[in-house]
């Protein structure tokens, strides 16, 4: 791109091609008081990796990049020892000193650029040169070696599985260690066309997003020295050092080379650590540059000013101990003032989620919020009537503006309606459908649009019911509303699969919540007596909503499609699928006497 302006610097005996993005060249830095950001690429890229990110960053900061040694227009030492991390870290310090006139800079780095920046930030005194570090798809090799040893020191099925998963993901590095073979491979196949197709097939990277230097083949080959100079020594004899530089780890759950588990011990060495994860792949700067640019801007602003531009997604990403399963995620729960919604809020908060609690009864939601806040997570309460589509759409936009796009949405709000379908009033039917079905559809659509636009996945949970597949003469209308939720969820799951957005339909059976105390019964004269009777039965059954919440969390983590909850729901689901005639016969029985 023509907006990169080159100036060469010298680091030791290596010449480094250094670039500034935009109209201002290095001589003008004294007049530009904006913070400096240095971008560091990995293998087999050059500074062009940042072509789609630099313009966004340049709206707020002075933006620099450089071709690391062995790549692009920088020098290419022939010997392997020249590519050891200690020397690469000194290269970074030299670039920062040059472009800031001896000042400091924020660093955003990817792949081997991140690996060498980790070496730099764990160098004593690094905090005087590096203001913050956004790490993408590149671990500290000493931390990685320590993690691997910990998995094998006290082997369990889980630790062995995690270690083997990472070994399988990193198997290619063994091939890269063989000079003659791997060099010949890339000399033959290291073309821009093939590499573009590789990224497109493996990660879905838009072909138009990639930006390679004319030196791609040479970069691939000389860059192999990074693997030969560092991996075996670091993993065999790890020497982890601490850092006080603020670090944001951007963890890609679908990274083909690096499993998320390898970052679990970073907190033991990084005193100021944040962590954001998403269902993205290794080459995030190419695949979703807007997301990475936004994330980096929010983090840098938070370090510079103590807060970031709204919406603030960084505060919830602060990691104060071992990472929880959902650290840094934002969850929205409707009907959060009681029952399943309340317990789901508790369960998600316990796993590190910031929670947004919505309910028509804000006093009840405030009670839920008190417990969530006691777990140390950010919590906000909103009044919401899910039966009103315009209100749901306005709510979703408010959440996006104030808190960011949710990672998890739980459409839980619902009501009951029993009795004869023939005796129900039109108003009762309208209210039932508006809340139970239309409310779920509205919430799913509003937030799914945001998730698709963001491009980093997400998960939507819709509360259906065992009634969705258990016909009953006394629950026909309620069953219809929940069957609609189930089929809508299954269909939406198919629609959103290409965007890596999961959709789960949760189908509880008889669960002891307060829905029974507010349920109306069409054709029944003594409503209170019927409610007492049904509520008493549910209380005797005593299947508590916290058990449903655990199933909801499991569905999010494992991306389950349909989740029957309670033994009767699981039994009914199988009966309806395999012997539906038995369900039809059972449906004729009168349950309430």
The domain spanning residue 565 has which CATH number?
Answer: 3.40.50.720
Of 554 and 25, the structure prediction assigns the larger pLDDT to 554
**Tens of pLDDT along 258-290?**
999 999 999 999 999 999 999 999 999 999 999
The answer to whether position 593 is within a domain reads: no
Query: Does position 332 have pLDDT exceeding 80, yes or no?
Result: yes
Q: Are residues 276 and 350 in the same domain?
A: no
Are residues 267 and 248 in contact, defined by beta-carbon separation less than 8 angstroms? no
Q: Are residues 375 and 271 in the same domain?
A: no
Q: For residues 99 and 324, give the distance between their C-alpha atoms in angstroms, rounded to a whole number.
A: 38
Q: Is 478 a catalytic residue?
A: yes
Q: Are residues 244 and 337 in the same domain?
A: no
Query: Does position 298 have pLDDT exceeding 60, yes or no?
Result: yes
Domain extent, residue 465, equals 330-587
Q: Are residues 308 and 363 in the same domain?
A: no
Query: Does position 27 have pLDDT exceeding 50, yes or no?
Result: no
* Percent of the chain clearing pLDDT 70 (strictly above): 96
CATH for 32: 3.40.50.1820
Query: Based on the number of CB atoms within 10 Å of its own CB, is 324 exposed (0-12), middle (13-18) or buried (19 or more)?
Result: middle
Query: Which region among 70-79, 137-146, 343-352, 518-527 has the lowest average model confidence (pLDDT)?
Result: 518-527
Q: What average pLDDT does the segment 30-34 reach?
A: 74
Query: Does position 25 have pLDDT exceeding 70, yes or no?
Result: no
Per the DSSP assignment, residues forming a β-bridge with 504 are 461
> Could you tell me the CA-to-CA distances from 104 to 34, 87, 108, 129, 582 in Å, in that order?
12, 19, 13, 4, 73
Q: Are residues 566 and 429 in the same domain?
A: yes
The answer to whether position 508 is within a domain reads: yes
Query: Which region among 352-356, 469-473, 560-564 has the lowest average model confidence (pLDDT)?
Result: 469-473
pLDDT at position 511: 75
Residues composing the chain: 593
**Tens of pLDDT along 117-153?**
999 999 999 999 999 999 999 999 999 999 988 888 8
Number of domains into which the chain is organized: 2
pTM above threshold 0.95? no
Any idea what DSSP says for residue 568? H
Q: How confident is the model at residue 374 (pLDDT cuts 50, 70, 90)?
A: very high
> Could you tell me the CA-to-CA distances from 360 to 226, 402, 413 in Å, in that order?
58, 20, 9
Q: Are residues 48 and 123 in the same domain?
A: yes
Q: Looking at 22-101, which runs of residues are DSSP E strands? A: 36-40, 62-66
Q: Are residues 298 and 385 in the same domain?
A: no
Query: Does position 411 have pLDDT exceeding 50, yes or no?
Result: yes
Counting Cα atoms < 13 Å in the Cβ hemisphere of 90 gives 11
pLDDT at position 2: 62
Q: Are residues 334 and 309 in the same domain?
A: no
Q: Are residues 86 and 131 in the same domain?
A: yes
The answer to whether position 324 is within a domain reads: no
Q: Are residues 344 and 293 in the same domain?
A: no
Whole-number average pLDDT of the chain: 91
Q: Are residues 78 and 97 in the same domain?
A: yes
DSSP 236-257: HS-----B-S-EEEEEETT-SS
pLDDT at position 26: 45
> Which three-class secondary structure state does DSSP give residue 320?
coil
**Which residue in 5, 6, 15 sits closest to 91, CA to CA?**
15
The answer to whether position 303 is within a domain reads: yes
pLDDT at position 161: 86
The answer to whether position 280 is within a domain reads: yes
The answer to whether position 592 is within a domain reads: no
pLDDT at position 532: 78
Are residues 223 and 70 in contact, defined by beta-carbon separation less than 8 angstroms? yes
Give me the catalytic one of 19, 478, 521, 543: 478
Q: Are residues 346 and 452 in the same domain?
A: yes
Of 588 and 445, the structure prediction assigns the larger pLDDT to 445
Q: Looking at 68-168, which runs of residues are DSSP E strands? A: 105-110, 130-136
The answer to whether position 227 is within a domain reads: yes
The answer to whether position 266 is within a domain reads: yes
Query: Does position 215 have pLDDT exceeding 90, yes or no?
Result: yes
Query: Does position 539 have pLDDT exceeding 70, yes or no?
Result: no
């Amino acid at each position: 791109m023509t907006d990169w302006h080159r100036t060469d610097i010298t680091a030791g005996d290596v010449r480094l091609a250094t670039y500034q993005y935009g109209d201002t060249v290095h001589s003008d830095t004294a007049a530009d008081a904006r913070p400096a950001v240095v971008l560091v690429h990995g293998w087999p890229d050059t500074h062009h990796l940042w072509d789609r990110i630099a313009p966004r960053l340049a709206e707020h900061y002075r933006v620099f990049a450089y071709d690391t040694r062995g790549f692009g227009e920088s020098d290419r030492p022939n010997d392997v020892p020249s590519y050891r991390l200690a020397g690469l870290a000194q290269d970074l310090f030299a670039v920062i000193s040059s472009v800031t006139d001896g000042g400091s800079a924020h660093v955003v780095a990817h792949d081997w650029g991140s690996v060498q920046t980790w070496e730099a930030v764990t160098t004593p005194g690094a905090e005087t040169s590096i203001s913050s570090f956004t790490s993408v798809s590149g671990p500290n090799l000493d931390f990685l070696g320590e993690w691997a040893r910990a998995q094998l020191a006290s082997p369990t099925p889980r630790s062995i599985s995690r270690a083997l998963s990472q070994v399988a993901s990193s198997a290619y590095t063994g091939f890269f260690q063989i000079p003659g073979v791997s060099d010949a491979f890339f000399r033959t196949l290291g073309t821009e066309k093939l590499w573009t197709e590789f990224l497109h097939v493996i990660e879905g990277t838009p072909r138009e997003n990639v930006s390679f230097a004319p030196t791609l083949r040479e970069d691939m080959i000389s860059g192999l020295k990074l693997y030969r100079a560092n991996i075996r020594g670091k993993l065999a004899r790890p020497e982890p050092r601490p850092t006080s530089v603020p670090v944001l780890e951007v963890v890609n759950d679908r990274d083909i080379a690096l499993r998320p588990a390898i970052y679990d011990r970073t907190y033991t060495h990084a005193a100021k650590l944040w962590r954001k994860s998403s269902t993205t792949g290794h080459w995030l700067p190419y695949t979703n540059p807007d997301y990475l640019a936004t994330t980096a801007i929010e983090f840098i602003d938070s370090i510079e000013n103590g807060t970031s531009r709204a919406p603030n997604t960084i505060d919830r990403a602060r990691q104060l101990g071992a990472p929880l399963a959902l650290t840094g995620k934002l969850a929205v729960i409707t009907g959060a003032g009681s029952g399943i919604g309340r317990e789901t809020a508790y369960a998600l908060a316990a796993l590190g989620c910031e929670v947004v609690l919505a309910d028509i009864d804000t006093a009840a939601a405030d009670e839920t919020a008190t417990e969530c806040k006691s777990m140390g997570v950010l919590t906000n309460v909103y009044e919401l009537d899910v039966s009103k589509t315009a209100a749901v759409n306005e709510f979703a936009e408010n959440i996006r503006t104030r808190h960011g796009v949710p990672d998890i949405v739980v459409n839980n709000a619902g009501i009951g309606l029993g009795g004869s379908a023939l005796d129900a009033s039109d108003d009762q039917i309208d209210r039932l459908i508006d809340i139970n079905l239309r409310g779920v559809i509205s919430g799913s659509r509003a937030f799914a649009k945001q998730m698709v636009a963001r491009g980093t996945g997400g998960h939507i949970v819709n509360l259906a019911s065992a009634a969705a597949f258990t016909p009953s003469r006394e629950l026909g209308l309620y069953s219809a509303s929940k069957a609609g939720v189930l089929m809508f969820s299954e269909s939406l799951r198919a629609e959103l699969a290409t965007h890596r957005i999961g959709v789960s339909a949760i189908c509880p059976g008889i669960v002891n919540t307060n829905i029974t105390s507010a349920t109306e019964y069409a054709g029944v004269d003594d409503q209170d007596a019927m409610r007492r009777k049904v509520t008493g039965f549910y209380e005797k059954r005593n299947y508590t909503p916290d058990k449903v919440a655990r199933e909801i969390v499991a569905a999010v983590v494992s991306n389950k499609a349909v989740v029957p909850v309670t033994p009767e729901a699981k039994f009914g689901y199988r009966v309806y699928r395999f012997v539906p005639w038995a369900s039809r016969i059972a449906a004729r029985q009168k349950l309430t006497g």
